[in-house]
Amino acid sequence: MRRSFPGAPWIKLPADSMAPLRSLLPLTLLAGLSARAQVPVEPPARNPTPDESWATPAQVESSSGQGARDEQGWNTFPGATAVPEGEAAAGLPRLPEVPPMTVVDNPPGARESRLRPVEPAGPPAVPNRVSLLGARTVGAGRVAAGVSLGFPVVSARVAVGVLPRLDVLAGFDTLYGTMNELRLGGRWVVLEGGARWSVGVVAEGSRAFFLRSASVEDKGARYLSGRRNWNVMPGLVASFQVQGARTPRFFLDARYLVSFDTEPLQRTPLGGLPPNLVTTSSWPVRVGAEVPLSEKTSYSVSLGGDVRSGTEDAAFMPVVSVGIVTGL
């Protein structure tokens, strides 16, 4: 029989030398089993003691340099670089110094002011003092003009300043062509409270021309307008303006109208011949406002009515008009 070992030469053993070994192997196994049977084996504990070695932190010895590096790694931001100091920092460019930030309390309404667009700063608005329907005069050497459209008449007015407190007035009224009236008068300021309010006296005379004669007219131009051939209208006018450069200017115009009819008619069959001249009276009242649009231009709104006493006129005639007033 031959046995080979790695890296060793072949060794040849005689066959009869293996006989004692074969007889001793069963005896050795039997002796080992009997010894193991004699050793008592304790059963495992029912409730073994838990392993708490993990609760005690392990003490790891390290060199001073390694501990310092570990501590620096925990306390610094990843990727941080060293800041040069001394001579190394002298050659570096300097950043502009920024003042420290301070907390400022916002005043009330600061949030709303940021939300609204900021208007560009400019010169203050020039107040509008041009009045044609109120008591305030336009001033010496100045001119104001205006037109209005309404019921029952369409009007055009011009005011020329003769003195600081006196204006000459000229106008034209038409009942859409069926009655045309030329007017001339004046306005004088009696009381004035600065730029806020004023009270004045106004008087106008007019000559009216009718498209149809009185004999063929029935509730036409004379009935609606209250005018006759000649008319005189004295009265009082007052105005008040709210404080501000472009605030509305309110006015009140109250007059007494005396009409002279040179074409009277006798409505009763046995009344005889009518007189050559018949007078009637009425009380026109107007209230309204001039709302400035710019330094010299305003739009006007007027409401009111005529209270009449003539038998051939309406007892009350409403009046409404809108227009525009401007300084020239």
- What are the tens digits of pLDDT across the range 48-85? 676 666 666 655 555 555 555 566 556 665 655 677 77
213 pLDDT above the threshold of 60:
yes
The pLDDT of residue 244 is: 78
197 beta partners: 193, 240
The pLDDT of residue 37 is: 54
The number of CA neighbours under 13 Å toward the Cβ of 80 is: 10
Mean pLDDT on 8-37: 58
Return the residue matching tokens 């006798």.
266
46 pLDDT above the threshold of 70:
no
- Report the distance separating Cα 280 and Cα 257, nearest Å: 8
Q: Which of 10-19, 91-100, 131-140 has the lowest mean pLDDT?
A: 10-19
- Report the distance separating Cα 32 and Cα 29, nearest Å: 5
Mean pLDDT on 29-49: 60
243-to-197, 240, 309 alpha-carbon distances in Å: 10, 9, 40
Report residue 43 as tokens: 């059963």
The pLDDT of residue 1 is: 46
198-to-108, 283, 310 alpha-carbon distances in Å: 40, 22, 33
- Report the distance separating Cα 17 and Cα 1, nearest Å: 10
Cα dihedral across residues 182, 185, 189, 194: positive or negative: positive
- What are the tens digits of pLDDT across the range 92-123? 777 777 777 766 665 655 555 555 655 666 67
Report residue 20 as tokens: 């004692």
Mean pLDDT on 141-169: 95
129 beta partners: none
The pLDDT of residue 62 is: 52
* 129 vs 49, more confident: 129
Mean pLDDT on 156-172: 96
At 145, the pLDDT band (50, 70, 90 cuts) reads very high
The pLDDT of residue 214 is: 85
- What are the tens digits of pLDDT across the range 249-305? 999 999 999 999 998 887 777 767 878 889 999 999 999 999 999 999 999 999 999
The pLDDT of residue 141 is: 92
- Report the distance separating Cα 196 and Cα 246, nearest Å: 12
